[in-house]
Amino acid sequence: MSLLASCRMHRIEPLGYMRDLLCLLPRWPKHRVLDLAPVNWTQTVAQAEVQQALASNVFRQVVLGQRT
């Protein structure tokens, strides 16, 4: 619950954050885990490598209706 409250505090849409977080976590480097915290999310998701990882994630494409 505190993770969702933190999303709201940082003006991040909680369901979108959780979706994208679950897409990134399997391949995310352990030493950069704090980059995924809501407080750092805006800067992290703005990075080209993160945008590419999200765009190529099949699960995310299906959830967003971009892939049939």
pLDDT digits (tens, 9 = 90+) for 25-55: 999 999 999 999 999 999 999 999 999 999 9
Report the first-to-last Cα separation within the chain, whole angstroms.
Answer: 32
Q: Rounded to whole angstroms, how far apart are CA atoms 2 and 38?
A: 11
The pLDDT of residue 29: 96
| pLDDT tens digits, one per residue of 12-25 | 999 999 999 999 99
Is it the case that residue 67 has pLDDT exceeding 80? no
Q: What would the two tokens of residue 60 be?
A: 């995310």
Confidence of residue 10 (pLDDT cuts 50, 70, 90): very high
pTM summary value: 0.87
C-alpha R_g of the chain: 12
Residue 8: CA count within 13 A, CB half-sphere: 5
- Domain assignments of the chain as residue spans, ordered by start: 2-63
